[in-house]
Structure 1
Amino acid sequence: MAILESINMGTPRPIPGKHAETGIYKEPVEGEVTVTKHGIEGDAVMDRKHHGGVDQAVYLYFADDYRWWKTQLDRDLPPGMFGENFTIAGVEGRSVAVGDRFTMDEVVLQVTSHRTPCMTFGRKMGDPGWAKRFHQAGRPGAYCRVVSGGALHAGEPVRHTPFEGERITVSELMALDGVRDIDPAFLRRALATPLHYKMREDYEERLARLL
């Protein structure tokens, strides 16, 4: 059975080499947290143009991907290192698809999209080439909307319910970052899923230009 291995929250911290602050530095917390449609109460989200919002209220990363990265980087990677809110063990991260649901007690999350690495992530990792490396690895984790909120604590069992419609994995979506011409058939398949609203708008516009 899958397990909620860690709940991770951040407070505002300066971005290395910048004046702006970030909430990407997340660390495991003990005790109960409250999850709302906007995410975990008290968790720092600084750049709300690119982060947060109801369609990426919670970011998941997976223990199997952490194990892979530890072999690649040869370093300790504690939960929250990648800025995720929930670290989940017992689910293959690369196979997670848009529309999949994760149920933890009364909290229900639905996957909406992959994570696109940014310069802030690279600065946190201390690697100017990190965004490219993370992208090439194809292990993006998953952004989720909150279908049902509630109280939660680490150690809860997690029920992973795969989406019954078109299966568009987060790894597939990540591979298309920066691709100018996406196969219209793929666009139509993706639009049949409960995709992140910004990505949905982008894909709808792409299809409309082809008509």
Structure 2
Amino acid sequence: MGRLIAVCAVRGLRPDAGSEGVTGIDKAALQGPVRVGPYGVRGDVQVSRKHHGGLLKAVYAYAHEDASFWEEQLGRELAPGWFGENLRTEGIDVNASRIGDIWQIGERLRLEVTMPRTPCATFARWVGGSEQRGWVKRFAGERRLGPYLRVVRAGEVQAGDEIEIVPAPAGAPGLLDTFSWPA
């Protein structure tokens, strides 16, 4: 069983060279219980629901174990929220999720795995520096993407809550099986 180590929401919109002109990728951990509803974490902002939100991508989760890998690769600390995630988990191989897995977090919240994250140019600009060039391909190549989830039942969660996985029906595709990236 895994656990939630942070619930994150946008700190503030940042200027961005993309089509929206701003990005909500800059997220940070929230304190105490946080409500999660159909469109995600209360207080979060999804600038482009077409690409990074809406009902099927209401919540983005990233694993502490994968963040630790990138900390070593990039030589810097990557606090919860740095990947634009709403949930930082521990003790779950989030990339081994199957489409349709249900995550029960805390007493009420139920989320369903819907699809993997597809890294984008906004994410590359966020990374910045010399790592920006080639970042999307590098991130995709490591296949440490993390899942998007839809909210099946709203509820409050907080750091420390346990995450119980109810497996998808037999034959459901794996998260990474649904991810295709041009060579």
- Please show how residues 1-211 of structure 1 align to structure 2 within 5 Å: 1-10=1-10, 11-15=12-16, 20-105=21-106, 106-126=108-128, 127-174=132-179, 176-178=180-182
Conserved 8 A contact 1:35-1:150 = yes
Between 1 and 2, higher relative CO (CA 8 Å, sep ≥ 6) is seen in 2
Amino acid at match of 2:68: R
Conserved 8 A contact 2:22-2:47 = yes
Tell me the distance in 2 between the aligned counterparts of 1:39 and 1:169.
23
State the shift of 1:146 in Å: 0.3
113-122 vs 128-137, which moves further = 128-137
Conserved 8 A contact 2:113-2:150 = yes
What does residue 189 of structure 1 align with? Answer: none
Conserved 8 A contact 1:63-1:89 = yes
Point out the structure with the larger helix share.
1
Conserved 8 A contact 1:98-1:169 = yes
What does residue 198 of structure 1 align with? Answer: none
Tell me the distance in 2 between the aligned counterparts of 1:42 and 1:177.
32
State the shift of 1:154 in Å: 1.4
TM-score, scaled relative to structure 2: 0.90
Amino acid at match of 2:62: Y
State the shift of 1:17 in Å: 8.4
Tell me the distance in 2 between the aligned counterparts of 1:83 and 1:16.
17
Conserved 8 A contact 1:16-1:124 = no
Tell me the distance in 1 between the aligned counterparts of 2:93 and 2:120.
23
Which consecutive segments of 4 or more residues in structure 1 shift more than 3 A? 16-19
Alignment coverage as a number of residue pairs = 178
State the shift of 1:129 in Å: 1.3
After superposition, the Cα gap between the structure-2 partners of 1:49 and 1:16, relative to the gap in structure 1 and judged at 3 Å, is same
Amino acid at match of 1:73: L
Query: Over aligned residues, Cα RMSD in angstroms?
Result: 1.8
- 1:56 aligned counterpart, secondary structure: coil
Gaps of 5+ in 1: 180-211
Point out the structure with the larger strand share.
2
Gaps of 5+ in 2: none
Identity level (%): 37
- 2:78 aligned counterpart, secondary structure: coil
After superposition, the Cα gap between the structure-2 partners of 1:17 and 1:173, relative to the gap in structure 1 and judged at 3 Å, is closer
Conserved 8 A contact 1:140-1:170 = no
Tell me the distance in 2 between the aligned counterparts of 1:178 and 1:44.
29
State the shift of 1:8 in Å: 0.7
1:50-81 deviation digits (Å, cap 9, x = unpaired): 12111110001111211222222222111111
Amino acid at match of 1:28: A
